[in-house]
Amino acid sequence: TKVDVSGAEPGEGMPPGFPFFPGLPTVPSVPPGLTIEEGASIGGNLNYIANSKATIPDGVVAGETSFTQFVPEKAQAAAPSLTARVGVWFVGQLRRLITLLLIGAAMMWVVPEWTHKIAAIVQTKPLPSLGWGVVVIAAFVLAILVLIIATVLLVVIFGVVTLGELAGRFAILGGIVIGTLSFGFSIIWTYVTRIIISLLLGQLIFRLFKSPAAEHRWWPMLLGVLIFVIITAIPVLRWLAILVTVLLGLGAVWLWCRDWLRDRKVTLLAVK
């Protein structure tokens, strides 16, 4: 067989574009894949592997022709070692611990009394807190859906009556309101509830050992956060612990808000 190199003429040098290398030897241009010229003869079978099927003239191969599609081998990423997996897990837990400690420190610095009040509500009213937590989540989801539907309807209505600029403003306003509510709720959901339950957990442990540290400003929160991170690092307990924490925390916050509004209303009536 012959490889077709007819794309290059004898004496042809490198293509233009290499002015710094004059007089380079001739390099013939060979098309990719298998090329068999007319008049070639293969006295047996032809088995070849290529990216695409070659055009083989009739009568060139005396035996059978077999084509196999070339499939490049994919480099398989080596599975991470046990040490690497443990290292990644440990770093993740350390980041969670530091994040919760920073947020807990901010809460105990800015709103320590409020945080202690919410923790006390969880301790004295665990079942109402749990139930109201479910109600709060359902109410929030419903409120977001109502806001989305109302925003879409207003945008469509104002768009139909050719008030495009007003429709755009309502779309922006609706997006801001929905985004703000979602962001605030996510902060309470993700961080505030964890700090509240961690504070209560630390207080209960110190009280169990009759330690005066139970009434300290910082120690119960620090101990509670550490224990909370350890508990939620266990896969079997993680989601159950987080779910109970979120429900208890949200419910307690709602009960505090309800009592605060009721007391404020009574105060205003007394002033009048």
Cβ neighbours, 10 Å, residue 155? 19
pLDDT for the residue 4:
39
Three-class secondary structure assignment of 246-271? HHHHHHHHHHHHHHHHHHHHHHHHHH
Confidence of residue 15 (pLDDT cuts 50, 70, 90): low
pLDDT-based confidence at residue 68 (cuts at 50, 70, 90):
confident
pLDDT of residue 192: 96
- Give the count of beta carbons closer than 10 Å to the beta carbon of residue 227: 14
Of residues 53 and 243, more confidence is placed in 243
Helix H or strand E segment including 180: helix 164-187
Alpha helices in the chain, H assignment, sequence order: 82-110, 112-124, 126-160, 164-187, 193-208, 219-232, 235-271
Which amino acid makes up residue 3? V
**Using an 8 Å Cβ cutoff, are 150 and 175 in contact?**
no
Identify which of 146, 144, 143, 166 has the alpha carbon closest to the alpha carbon of residue 156. Answer: 166
Task: Spell out the SS3 assignment of 220-234.
Answer: HHHHHHHHHHHHHCC
pLDDT computed for residue 101 by the predictor:
96
Distance CA 35, CA 58 (A): 13
Res. 257: pLDDT tops 80 = yes
Supply the pLDDT for residue 38: 73
Residue 12 has pLDDT above 80, yes or no: no
Q: Nearest 5°: CA angle at 43, between 40 and 48? A: 80
Identify the pLDDT of residue 185: 95
Cβ-Cβ contacts under 8 Å for 148 (sequence gap 6 or more): 174, 178
Q: What is the average pLDDT score of the chain?
A: 84
Is 203 in a helix, a strand, or coil? helix
pLDDT at 109 over 80: yes
Q: pLDDT tens-digit profile of 28-56?
A: 666 666 677 777 777 777 777 777 777 77
**Average pLDDT for 62-68:** 76
Q: In the Cβ-directed half-sphere of 59, how many Cα atoms lie within 13 Å?
A: 2
pLDDT at 19 over 60: no
User: In this model, does residue 100 exceed pLDDT 90?
Assistant: yes
pLDDT of residue 50: 75
Tokens of 164: 């495009």
Average the pLDDT over each of 3-12, 119-128, 181-190, 241-250 and give the range with the smallest value. Answer: 3-12
Contact 126, 248 (CB under 8 A): yes
Q: What is the pLDDT of residues 187-211, one digit of tens each?
A: 999 999 999 999 999 999 999 999 9
**Has this prediction a pTM greater than 0.75?**
no
